[in-house]
A and B are shown apart, each in its own frame.
Chain A
Amino acid sequence: MNESKVSRRKALKALGLVAGSGAVVAALAGCGETQVVEVVKEVAVVQEKIVTVTVPEQTPQRDNVTIVMQSWWAPTIGLPFQAWDEHIRTFSNTSPWVTLEVEYVPWGDMIKKYLAGVAAGDVPDVFHSSIAFARDLWDQGTLEELSEFIKTTPDMAESTFMPATTPYRNSQGKWFAIPWEGFDGRALYYNVAHFEEAGLDPAFESTSQWDWDMLLEASQQLTQRDGDKVTRSGFLIIRPHMEYFCSWLYCQDAEFYAPGETKVAFNQNDAAMKMVDWHLAALNDHNISIPIVAERPDVNLFQQGQASIAQNGHWAISKMRTDVPGLKFDLMGIPKGPGGSKMRTVAFTNLHALPTKARHKDDAWDFIAWQAGLEQQIKKLQLMDFPSPRLDFYETNEWKIQTQRVPQLKNLPTMLEDGGAWPYVRFSEVNNTYTPIMEGMMIGQREVGAGVADMETGINEILGKAAEMMG
């Protein structure tokens, strides 16, 4: 990459000068002494010019390239995203021959757009991959193996990143993605002012010690009603999606996957049933939440003070602060459940990957390594209040300074240190089996025991096929 190159123009110039000096030497025969001296001086100047053209180390000259990144991080999402989008263009300061072009695709369309590109042979150079589809795309053979690239860039080695990121980007010893977005998990956001009004201690040191009973009790205290009608939800009960469901397993010290990820283990010790039962009781018997509806705006309800506790991703800290600057809130993991030892949650990271058919793999890799590097991760923190999947990130002064400015960030490492696996294998398909059954249980259409058993059977079938496909 550092080889010294001479441009075509300079080479021609040098050739011209050499030819000129040759002609001058040839003309010496017909000249007097004085003239000879003059000519020799000229030749010396000419030779000096040649030397100055060829010898010194030049700035590496590379052909200009444009690398295309597909991402759902569009500047239109909000100001922090706009700032980040502007910042990543500074990659050109490091690699002046590279122009970054970002193709913004809504999250829901990312996989379709990418697959259509793969089928048509028109893929981006860098693919911002959700954890929801990175592994599947690797299994389908559409992502480049990164092991050789990683060898050339020690900063991207396995040891740089949180160990929990490894399964999301490594299959059978082969690396296929680099984590750069996150580290995230599921959290319970709570309104500090509501807590104080209800006489509850809002300090993380206190809420992190809660168990399910204490959460229910606090939610009852926080709920406000007009007759039977809930006017302020103590705890917004949702249709549990898979990320949330997993978090409620881990706080019981249960697991979603059995070892090897070829089947599930979520109902060992009835963990899944206990999770569903708790939510049904909270919703129907204890009446601590407004009803579950199709498109309930939970974030807005929390921001408007119509809910005291609501679940969300860790990544929403920035959004909460930007949307409602005066909102006093904090967050906790999922309180420990029956059989659990402490508050826990799921932990995940989104990734960058190189499509197999990418046109500019070297430059794309440079960009990935740049963005996942410590300096840019700190910049991301400063611009967006987002944490990092890098281990060294949490030792930096910038992190410590930022946690003083954004106190909600401070406890993320504690919440995520024992983070359980995100259900990343065949997520779409597994989710499609999981969701109707969970909905059926939550609306009382399915008996919980039978529902969980159906879920196990359906998901095991999908995971079994995935394992079979990968040999």
Chain B
Amino acid sequence: MQIARTSESRPRPGWLRDLQRDALGYSFAGPAVILLVIFSIVAIVVSLWISFHEWTFLRDERPWVGLDNYAKALDDPVFGKAFRNTARYAAIVVPAITGLGLLLALIGNEARQGRAVFRTIFFIPTLTPLVVLSFLWIWLFEPTGSFNIVLEKLGLPTPNWLMDPVMAPFAIIIMSVWAHVGYYMVIFMAGLADIPQIYYDASEVDGANVFQRFWHITLPLLRNTLIFVVVILAIGAFQVFDQVYLMTRGGPDNSTEVMQALIYKQGFEFFHMGYASAMAWYLFAAIAFFTAIQMRIFRSQQLY
């Protein structure tokens, strides 16, 4: 017996069925993806193209210069200084915020009373605009400011923080740690809340002390949170800009000049878009390199 096949009964290709099934999801994600492609992916590709040119967006002549902009950056002492300053900032800020954030989260987690107050106090700087925080810290770091008053009472030297090329980078670091630690504390607290209490109860029965519990239970079970915190912090640290621009503008004597600020100046103040793009690609390479290292360090065969 012959079976009559109509167009209605013909099976549709698998990809079309999948598309129809997921249409609603695509329609939700679509606008965001389009924006991401235009403003991130396309912009990244264009910046690579620009970096091979002597490019100012106001003029029509944009000669091809090959790798000249990349070579010029390597010969530029300010670029070298900015790169070292940025790396130093990241090397101090990332472990400091991670360690302090975790410590505060542990303390907050243990607190039986006033946990909300504790969290709020440390989270307030996160809610305050960085511009306001920067100006607040400028006053605190004045030679006669509160910071030096405390140091004087302790019998310690009282530097002119923001005008001393040795102390100015540390002033920025202190301010940044204070401003951001609360946010990461909350993330760690969320991570701690996900660790089942049963492990701690069992370890207590086994006679484990506080440090053993931290080392063998808390830290391993916080691994995913730690990866997130460290990677996000490192990326942010390499892109530090606001507090430097507001507090020192890279001074004194370029001692706090950082990559992001230098790229901004070259691109939007001096119109050297090609050179700024080449610098941006160096920054991208540095971030990618350090992120890869972090991911490798945190890679583990154990699955929790």
Render A434-455 as a binary contact track against B, CB cut-off 8 A, 1 for contact: 0111011001011000000000
Q: Which of chain B's residues have a CB closer than 8 A to the CB of A118? A: 58
- List B283-304 residues whose CB lies under 8 Å from chain A: none
Q: Is the CB of A294 within 8 A of B253?
A: no
Q: Is the CB of A294 within 8 A of B270?
A: no
Q: In the complex, how many angstroms separate the beta carbon of B260 from the nearest chain A beta carbon?
A: 15
Q: Is the CB of B163 within 8 A of A446?
A: no
Q: Which of chain A's residues have a CB closer than 8 A to the CB of B153? A: none
Render B45-88 as a binary contact track against A, CB cut-off 8 A, 1 for contact: 00000000000111100000000000000000010000000000
- List A120-152 residues whose CB lies under 8 Å from chain B: 136, 140-142
Q: In the complex, how many angstroms separate the beta carbon of A381 from the nearest chain B beta carbon?
A: 34
Is A293 close to B, CB under 8 A? Answer: yes
- List B116-152 residues whose CB lies under 8 Å from chain A: 135, 138, 141-143
Q: Is the CB of B271 within 8 A of A435?
A: no
Surface stretch bound by A, among B33-41, B195-203, B218-226, B243-251: B243-251
Q: Is the CB of B58 within 8 A of A142?
A: yes
Q: Which of chain A's residues have a CB closer than 8 A to the CB of B163? A: 291-294, 439, 443
Q: Is the CB of A140 within 8 A of B141?
A: no
Complex Cα distance, B267 from A112, in Å, reads 10
* Contacts A140-B58, A432-B265 given; does A445 touch B138 at CB 8 Å: no
Q: Which residue of A lies closest to B142 (CB)?
A: A293
Complex Cα distance, B165 from A295, in Å, reads 16
Is B26 close to A, CB under 8 A? Answer: no
Is B279 close to A, CB under 8 A? Answer: no
Q: In the complex, how many angstroms separate the beta carbon of A171 from the nearest chain B beta carbon?
A: 16
Q: Is the CB of A428 within 8 A of B250?
A: no
Q: Is the CB of A295 within 8 A of B271?
A: no
Q: Which residue of B lies closest to A140 (CB)?
A: B58
* Contacts A118-B58, A140-B56, A446-B253 given; does A429 touch B269 at CB 8 Å: yes
Is A115 close to B, CB under 8 A? Answer: yes
- List B232-266 residues whose CB lies under 8 Å from chain A: 247-254, 257, 265
Complex Cα distance, B160 from A291, in Å, reads 8
Q: Which residue in B138, B164, B254, B270 is a CB contact (below 8 Å) of A428? A: B270
Q: Which residue of B lies closest to A433 (CB)?
A: B78
Q: Which residue of A lies closest to B250 (CB)?
A: A436
Is B228 close to A, CB under 8 A? Answer: no
* Contacts A292-B163, A294-B247, A432-B269 given; does A141 touch B59 at CB 8 Å: yes
Q: Which residue of A lies closest to B160 (CB)?
A: A291
Q: Which residue in B59, B135, B257, B268 is a CB contact (below 8 Å) of A295? A: B135
Q: Is the CB of A440 within 8 A of B271?
A: no
Q: In the complex, how many angstroms separate the beta carbon of A440 from the nearest chain B beta carbon?
A: 4
Complex Cα distance, B249 from A428, in Å, reads 13
Render A290-329 as a binary contact track against B, CB cut-off 8 A, 1 for contact: 0111110000000000000000000000000000000000
Contact-residue bracket for chain B: 20 to 34
Q: In the complex, how many angstroms separate the beta carbon of B194 from the nearest chain A beta carbon?
A: 43
Q: Is the CB of A115 within 8 A of B251?
A: no
Is B276 close to A, CB under 8 A? Answer: no
Is B162 close to A, CB under 8 A? Answer: yes
Is A40 close to B, CB under 8 A? Answer: no
Q: Which of chain B's residues have a CB closer than 8 A to the CB of A437? A: 253
Complex Cα distance, B269 from A136, in Å, reads 11
Q: Which residue in B56, B58, B249, B252 is a CB contact (below 8 Å) of A443? A: B252
Complex Cα distance, B266 from A428, in Å, reads 10
Q: Which of chain A's residues have a CB closer than 8 A to the CB of B58? A: 115, 118-119, 140-142
Is A53 close to B, CB under 8 A? Answer: no
Q: Is the CB of A112 within 8 A of B268?
A: yes
Q: Which of chain B's residues have a CB closer than 8 A to the CB of A446? A: 253
Q: In the complex, how many angstroms separate the beta carbon of B149 from the nearest chain A beta carbon?
A: 14
Q: Is the CB of A436 within 8 A of B160?
A: no
- List A99-124 residues whose CB lies under 8 Å from chain B: 111-112, 115, 118-119
* Contacts A293-B142, A293-B143 given; does A432 touch B270 at CB 8 Å: yes
* Contacts A142-B58, A440-B253 given; does A294 touch B269 at CB 8 Å: no
Q: Which residue in A140, A291, A432, A436 is a CB contact (below 8 Å) of B252? A: A436
Render A147-170 as a binary contact track against B, CB cut-off 8 A, 1 for contact: 000000000000000000000000
Q: Which of chain A's residues have a CB closer than 8 A to the CB of B165? A: 440, 443, 445
Q: Is the CB of A436 within 8 A of B142?
A: no
Complex Cα distance, B78 from A435, in Å, reads 13
Q: Which of chain A's residues have a CB closer than 8 A to the CB of B270? A: 426, 428-429, 432
Q: Is the CB of B269 within 8 A of A428?
A: yes
Q: Which of chain B's residues have a CB closer than 8 A to the CB of A443? A: 163-165, 252-253
Q: Is the CB of B138 within 8 A of A295?
A: yes
Complex Cα distance, B285 from A247, in Å, reads 45
Q: Which of chain A's residues have a CB closer than 8 A to the CB of B57? A: 115, 119
Q: Which of chain A's residues have a CB closer than 8 A to the CB of B56? A: 140
Q: Is the CB of B251 within 8 A of A439?
A: yes
Q: Is the CB of B138 within 8 A of A111?
A: no
Q: Is the CB of B252 within 8 A of A445?
A: yes
Known pairs A429-B269, A435-B249, A436-B254; list 14 more (Cβ under 8 Å).
Answer: A115-B268, A119-B58, A140-B56, A141-B59, A142-B58, A293-B142, A293-B163, A429-B270, A436-B78, A436-B250, A436-B251, A440-B253, A445-B253, A446-B253
Chosen A-B contacts, 7 in total, with CB atoms closer than 8 Å, are: A426-B270, A429-B270, A436-B250, A436-B251, A436-B253, A439-B163, A439-B252
Closest 9 CB pairs of A and B: A440-B253, A294-B162, A140-B58, A439-B252, A436-B254, A428-B269, A429-B270, A295-B138, A436-B253
